[in-house]
Amino acid sequence: MLRDKADRVSGMAYRDMPRVQLAVAEAQALLGAARSYVFTSLEAQWRKLETGEPLTERERANVWLSRTNAFQAARKVVTLLYDTIGANAIYADRGPFDRHMRDIQTACQHIVGQTKAWEGVGQLLLGGEPAAPLL
C-alpha cells in the first residue's frame, strides 16, 4: 500500500516521503530486533534441552522477555504503520490494517503478551523465585 499510495494534497508518492521511509525503516528495526531476541533465546533453550541441563536464571528470563517483547514490538510495528497510512488504514477494501490492529491488540492480552508478567522476570533476575510457575 505504501509503495503505490500518493498523498491526496501534494500528489507525492508515499514511497518518496521521508516520514514514510522513516516509519518503514523503524518498523523493520523493531521487527528485526524482536525476532533476533526470540531466536537467540530459543537457541539457548534448545541447547539446554538437548543436553538435559537446566536453564540459568538469565536464560529463563530471556525466554519470557523475548516472547513478550515480540508481542509488544509487533503492536508497535502495526501501530506505526497504521498511523503512517492514515485514514486508509480503516477501510477494509483498501488493506488489512484495521484487522491487523484489532488482532495485535487482542494478541497482546494473552499472558505471554502482557508486560505485567515482567515483575516475575525482574524478581528472577534479582535472585528471587517468581510466584508464577511459567518462568
pLDDT for 34 beyond 90: yes
Quick one: 96 exposed, middle or buried, by C-beta within 10 A (0-12, 13-18, 19+)? exposed
Residue, of 111 and 44, whose pLDDT is higher: 44
Q: Side chain identity at 113, as an amino acid letter?
A: G
Q: What is the pLDDT of residue 135?
A: 59
**What pTM does this model have?**
0.86
